[in-house]
Amino acid sequence: MPGPKPVKRGHPCQICGTDHLYSQAVQGDAIAPGVLALIRQEHPDFQTEGYICRPHLDLYRDSHVRRILEDEKGSLDALEKDVLRSIRDQDVLSENTDAVFDEKLSFGDRLSDVIADFGGSWRFIIFFLSVMVIWISINIVSVLKHPFDPYPFILLNLVLSCIAALQAPVIMMSQNRQEARDRMRAQSDYKVNLKAELEIRHLHEKVDHLLMHQWQRLMEVQQIQIELMNEINQRSRRPE
């Protein structure tokens, strides 16, 4: 006695020939024209009435987006390749760049940021002016018989020169890291914006294709209705 016939899991893919679940199969009518043209270049017998599995559709979609970028920008850099990988794998590109950047900072980097933050504040100005006033007052007023830094305050000038010589590189290091942080933010924004632009362009192309396909179906239904109405009109005019 023959056994029961195997039940298909879903629609067969025209590329790999295997059956896929309904959620993993896309009909050819729903594919964007650019992606469909790319599929038919490799598979001329691809029919819009058939189906294609999502893994193969994602591969052809990635190739289509890559061709668009290459036509507009020429060779692709690392950022654009990262965007293509995100579109293919359906990953999220947006990230907290501040948290990622702070994880790479060393102890010296954090210490220089703290020093630069203190050196560029009113607290440092008030503290340093207070130290200078006390220093000058002690060495001018006859408090000490032998002042350690008499006028013209050569030791004070030396201290000021050393502080300025050390403070400038620390502030420059902090500014360079801030520029690197801003550059990382700009790269992240560029990737997110590029991915959004490509996704919107693909959606526009797909919506236009679906609207055109729906309009053709409506025209076919309207033509059938007109033919039926003409047939009914002809039958009503015939003598019984």
State whether 115 and 169 are in the same domain. Answer: yes
Q: Please report which confidence band the pLDDT of residue 124 belongs to, taking 50, 70 and 90 as the band edges.
A: confident
Per-residue pLDDT of 58-83, as tens digits, reads 777 777 777 777 666 666 666 677 77
Strand partners, 25: 53
State whether 54 and 102 are in the same domain. Answer: no
State whether 65 and 111 are in the same domain. Answer: no
Per-residue pLDDT of 206-232, as tens digits, reads 776 667 667 767 777 777 777 777 777
pLDDT at 73: 64
**Cβ atoms of residues 99 and 185 within 8 Å:** no
Q: Is residue 210 part of a domain?
A: no
State whether 109 and 66 are in the same domain. Answer: no
Measured between alpha carbons, how far apart are the two ends of the chain, in Å? 58
Cα dihedral: 22, 25, 28, 34 (round 10): 140
Q: Closest Cα to residue 94, out of 194, 186, 197, 188?
A: 188
Long-range contacts of 89-92 (CB under 8 A, 24+ apart): 90/58
State whether 186 and 103 are in the same domain. Answer: yes
CA dihedral sign, ordered 76, 78, 83, 85: positive
Better-predicted residue by pLDDT, 145 or 188: 188
**Chain mean pLDDT for the chain:** 76
State whether 119 and 162 are in the same domain. Answer: yes
How far CA 234 is from CA of 39, 229, 237, in Å, comes to 47, 9, 5
Domain range enclosing 134: 97-190
**Residue 119: CB partners within 8 Å, gap ≥ 6?**
167, 170, 171
| Cα angle 51-17-47, degrees, rounded to a multiple of 5 | 35
**Cβ atoms of residues 174 and 112 within 8 Å:** yes
Per-residue pLDDT of 21-51, as tens digits, reads 666 777 777 777 777 877 888 888 888 778 8
pLDDT at 8: 45
Better-predicted residue by pLDDT, 188 or 100: 188
Query: Number of folded domains in the chain?
Result: 2
Q: 40 in helix, strand or coil?
A: helix
